[in-house]
Chains A and B, each alone.
Chain A
Amino acid sequence: MSDAIAFEAITKDFPGVRALEDVSFAVRGGEIHALMGENGAGKSTLLRILGGDHTPESGETIVAGIKVELATPHVALEHGIRVIYQEPNLVPGVSVAENLFVGRLPRRGLILDRRKLNAMAEREIERLGATFAPDDLLSDLSTAQRQMVEIGKALAANARILALDEPSSSLSSREVDHLFSVLRRLREDDVAIIYVSHRLAEVMTLSDRITILRDGRHVGTVETAATDEQALIRMMVGRDVDRLFAHTERDLGTPMLEVKGLTTERIADVSFSVRGAEVVGVAGLMGSGRSALARAIYGLDPIVAGSVAVDGRELAISGPGDAIRAGIALCPEDRKRDALVLQRSVAENVALTSQGRLARFGYIDRGREAELVDSYVRDLRIKTPDRDVLVVNLSGGNQQKVVLARALAMRPRVLILDEPTRGIDIGAKSEIYALIEELAASGMAIVLISSELVEVIGLADRIIVMRDGSMTGELAGATVTEEEILTLAMVPVIAPVIAPAALDITA
């Protein structure tokens, strides 16, 4: 097997941050090569260099033995390189077929040859083993199906090098299985596959070799068969992460958050309470109403019926401002969409909801602001050169910490965390877990929404399970098993005919 793509001494700088330093490794044809590392390790930057989206400061990229300057995405495509980023790169308003062959649509004279296009698309879809049709509108497809279209697009362009950035992060386990079988088939066809993932288990089953980056540097490339998860974690973090969850006994306080019969357009009759120093987990499949519950409490969705009380006082919540004043803080699920102002500094982002406290007659006391921000940068170990760096230049894990810092800076009584560790590496995860424990111990009431069951079980004192907008059960802490949660989260298998469709959790 020869090297399909080799990186040699790649270095890349961003304003204020060196993203990659002297990184060299190679990927063979017919190999699934996993790329791992914590957030900020440089994985995404490397993919962007491969895709011609970023130009390195120095170093070389060698495609099939020939030195190539991947100056633009177009050049990368011409060399058979296809990078599938986390953000989909598809046209939602047109058909699958047109998406597959965009830029190379077959024509008869000036007119699109739709019959030929659909036939071509049919072949690609078959190759993928996908279930959609060529003339399905892309916007009607699920996330998983769209990902298949992305891969199909790469194959239709005869990609010899395929790189995927966290492709499994929004897929169900069944969809992940399908993705894997497609990738394995591509491996048979001698395609070189670079697979970026945080999920150790996935990487262990799928990949042939694993390259680990840490702080922008190449730590090592290992044969998957010759390593184990512990060794990988050590390489990624640079130290042992022996126990992720250190559950401590806490004395629960009085009920801090009480939700009674809460009903909105998306949830129905949800009741639960959280005591001081308690962590209540909310589990459920995607679209089960987990996040809608958070939105309702935080005043983002109009409340149709029911009540929310903090510290025994019922609230009239008509917007986030009311929730904030009542001492409720929310860390939303999608940090880039809902939380961060990327083009502003770390300081401004952290202080955004606490400005009132830092200002007199609207004039911000910069000294006090700096003190506040620096204390959170220190406590949460936000990796940033200084507080004036734009948030856009931070890695995902550190961005998430900025969101957390903003919520904590409000000194909330109730903290709602919606997927606090999504897309975050294991090192940052363990830090956030420890932080949640610490905050609870300080008497805060915490609602933890997560699709990672291990996390919910490991951290929560009690777990609420949701399905189709309703609560289906409440389970008590440490003894809960994943099976118990899943049983409550999924549609009971009474009507086997409709069950599989309903399980297709892509809403």
Chain B
Amino acid sequence: MSSAPPATSRTRRPRLQRLLPPEQRGVLTALIVLCVILAIASQYFLTPANIANLLVGVALVGIVAAGETFVMLSGGLDISVGSIVAFSGVVAAIVLTATHNAGAAVFAGVATGAVSGILNGLIITTLRINALIVTLATMSIFLGLTYIVAGGKAVGATDATFSWLGNGNVLGIPNPIIVLVLVFVIGHFVLAYTTLGRNIYAMGGNAEAARLSGINLTRYRIGLYTTSGALAGLSGVILTARLGSGQPIAGAGVELTAITAVVLGGTSLSGGVGSMFGTALGVLVLGTLSNGLILLRVPAFYQYLTRGAVLLLAVGLDHYRGRISTIMSRRTSR
């Protein structure tokens, strides 16, 4: 077909579309609208102190959401992350109490998360059971283990070095924010620039094609659930450091908030479409929302309501964007 098709002259993709895929426009719109409204409604909103506050507030869920992004992009799902947060947090507290060594506590917490993730991955790949069902089961199992090792109550973790992790800062930037940003930068780099990232998109988009291209799906799946578990573990460690104790109830609902952020950020439930940047936007929207409601002195119960509404709005907007643009272009072509 040597003759160039007549259509190609007008087909260059605009730069905007490359930087911001269509599935993320809804969430970005939501974020901008929220920020504008809040900046007008509260003079306090745009102060550095409040923004730091906002970011520290979403750090824990954000780190978990980053791990969840990997898993969901590959076509999986991990709803045990909330329990892993609690489990790792409690284990870190116990190790800290026993050793008085902050490094050992951090390592133990992250390792607990990683091992939990390996377990998820192994069950999913060897028994070939749906990831939702497996992690639904392990969600309960990990929570049970948390209560058992904690003896049913909070475990104290009062060590100055350890506490600094959650409450200290470097050059005035609170540590949880530094960890959050690092996790997202590394996550984005991996997904966008490495073979690993390409293969994750490939297996989420078409697992069979990925397998035929020589990608070892089993190894990848186990690796991704391990990553998700380890990041949940890290989140649990930071939470324990902030609270000064490992609490079995700490992770309740984290998995759903994290998944909300991921979906809000444009990641497809079936995998293969989405990005770390999108998840970051999703996390920011959720954080801004709860921060704004507090600033406006709206009772905390309304957070759930608004969170759901924003999710529907952002995702709905993406869904109807296609229709709207069709109508617009039709109008201009006449």
Residues of A within 8 A of B (CB): 11, 13, 15-19, 21, 38, 40, 55, 57-58, 215-217, 237-238, 298, 300, 319-321, 323-325, 330, 332, 337-344, 348, 351-353, 355-356, 359, 362-364, 366, 381, 383, 385-386, 388-389, 406, 427-428, 431
Contact = CB atoms under 8 A, between A and B. Distances in A.
A341 to B, nearest CB: 4
Contacts, number: 123
10 contacts: A58-B333, A216-B6, A237-B1, A300-B212, A338-B212, A351-B198, A352-B209, A381-B2, A388-B18, A427-B1
Chain A CB count within 10 A is highest, among B7, B11, B13, for B7
A323 B213 CA distance: 10
B6 to A, nearest CB: 6
B212 A17 contact: no
Nearest to A385: B11
Interface residues of B, number: 38
B212 A332 contact: yes
4 closest cross-chain pairs (CB), A and B: A18-B7, A341-B205, A385-B11, A321-B214
Contact of A343 (B198, B273, B334): B273
A447 B195 CA distance: 29
A217 B7 CA distance: 11
Given A16-B11, A216-B7, A38 B194 contact: no
A388 B195 contact: no
Given A300-B212, A325-B214, A351-B198, 15 more contacts: A16-B11, A57-B333, A321-B214, A321-B215, A339-B209, A339-B212, A341-B202, A343-B273, A344-B205, A352-B198, A364-B193, A364-B194, A364-B195, A385-B8, A428-B1
B213 A352 contact: yes
Nearest to A298: B212
Interface string B1-25: 1110111101111000010000000
A431 B272 CA distance: 32
A389 B12 CA distance: 9
B10 to A, nearest CB: 7
Contacts of A332: 212
Interface string B80-116: 0000000000000000000000000000000000000
A373 to B, nearest CB: 13
Nearest to B274: A343
Contacts of B7: 17-19, 21, 215-216
A359 B195 contact: yes
B329 interface: yes
Contacts of A385: 8, 11-13
Interface string B181-206: 00000000000011110110110011
Contact of B1 (A15, A321, A431): A431
Contacts of A237: 1
Contacts of B10: 18
A282 B261 CA distance: 51
Contacts of A356: 195
A182 to B, nearest CB: 34
A329 B272 CA distance: 24
Interface string B159-186: 0000000000000000000000000000
A341 B211 contact: no
A337 B194 CA distance: 25
Contacts of A348: 198, 201-202
A338 B209 contact: yes
Contacts of A325: 214
Contacts of B216: 319, 321
Contacts of B3: 215, 238
A352 B333 contact: no
A386 B273 CA distance: 20
A355 B13 contact: no
Contacts of B128: none
B326 interface: yes
Contacts of B1: 38, 237, 381, 383, 427-428, 431
A93 B88 CA distance: 45
Given A238-B3, A341-B202, A359-B194, A57 B330 contact: yes
Contacts of B193: 363-364, 366
